[in-house]
Amino acid sequence: MSSVELVETGESVNTSTVRLWLQGLVAAAVWIASAALIIWWPNAVRKWPMTQGLANVCLTIAALIVLAVIVGRWSERLARRTQTLGAWLIALPILLSLWELFTAKLGWLPVPFFAPPQALLDVYVEDWPRLADSLLHSAILLGSGVAVGAITGFTAGVAIGWSRSIGYWLHPVLRILGPVPSTALLPLCFFLFPSSWSASVFLIALATWFPVTVLTWSGVSSVDKAYYDVARTLGASQRFLIFKVAIPAALPHVFVGLFMGLGASFSTLVVAEMMGVKSGIGWYLQWAQGWAAYANMYAALLIMALACSGLISALFLIRDRLLAWQQGAMKW
């Protein structure tokens, strides 16, 4: 490497380090300012619990940002990650401060319909056993429904895409039953199934089944016929053509169907849990609305949003691992 390249590389590293330190210090300062606002500005409506706890959370985040900046001098991956999140690390405390001002400090947003951030923190601290139990029941119900819907949808999609005779009988059923919203069948399912849990599993499975079936069918049908010809020339059997040619080539479409089905299953889950179950995120939301505990409702909504985002992110990690040649083709 020439001396000019060394100088340019050194300048690039120094510029990156300065930018990292600048972003980190600004972000930490904004989080500290948000903590000061929470502690020293008096509440307008009432003394909210966990006000000091919320300020401590802000100070902890500021300390973690400073620590990440220091460690980033030796960890390039951490430094790059911190720089990527730099704008959000500055914007989040500003949004948090505005939320705190409009609710707890100035009282511009009416209580109890709009809760301050420390009220949500109080819910997580005081009501975590009920929230954890609801999240566990929702996870079991969602996992059961999505698993049934994904397996049956994948099987049906492969069968329709591979066999014309099977497609002749299943295609009309798919076109009639598929577009019907799962929640529209709620009264009928609760009458036909022996328990609310089994009815909820069916509805979630139905919401997952339709997109997985359609996308799997599309993937199998769109496989290049030359692949089959080459495999047959080499002596491939019918089983080999299905499991080694058709299904692997259709996997990108399958994961798109799973992505769409997972999103639809979450909306179905909430509606199904509002009818006849005694635990779950949907039940918790209905319970909070009944008691006008809007802080609990917002806390549950935040947990549900993070859970949904986490599951979809995990699905994309699995996709990138299985489809390494298409890594990054789909973004989330």
Q: In the chain, what are the helix, strand and coil shares in percent, each to the nearest 5?
A: 80, 0, 20
Q: Does domain 128-326 have CATH number 3.40.50.150?
A: no
Angle, alpha carbons 14-15-19 (nearest 5°) = 115
CA 186, CA 275: separation in Å to the nearest integer? 9
Count of beta carbons in the 10 Å neighbourhood of residue 79: 20
CA 148, CA 209: separation in Å to the nearest integer? 8
Domain positions in the chain: 3-110, 128-326
Query: What's the longest Cα–Cα distance across the chain?
Result: 80
User: What per-residue confidence (pLDDT) applies to 276?
Assistant: 66
Dihedral angle at the C-alpha atoms of 246, 248, 252, 253, nearest 10 degrees?
30
User: What per-residue confidence (pLDDT) applies to 103?
Assistant: 92
DSSP letters for 233-267: HTT--HHHIIIIIIHHHHHHHHHHHHHHHHHHHHH
User: What per-residue confidence (pLDDT) applies to 15?
Assistant: 72
Report pLDDT digits (tens) over 283-316. 898 888 888 889 999 999 999 889 888 988 888 8
User: What per-residue confidence (pLDDT) applies to 234?
Assistant: 81
User: What per-residue confidence (pLDDT) applies to 8?
Assistant: 42
CB neighbour class for 211 (10 Å; exposed up to 12, middle 13-18, buried from 19): buried
Please, what are the averages of pLDDT over each run of 10 residues along the chain (332 residues)?
43 66 90 95 85 95 92 82 86 95 90 89 93 92 93 92 85 82 80 84 91 91 82 83 85 89 87 78 88 90 90 87 69 60
User: What per-residue confidence (pLDDT) applies to 248?
Assistant: 86
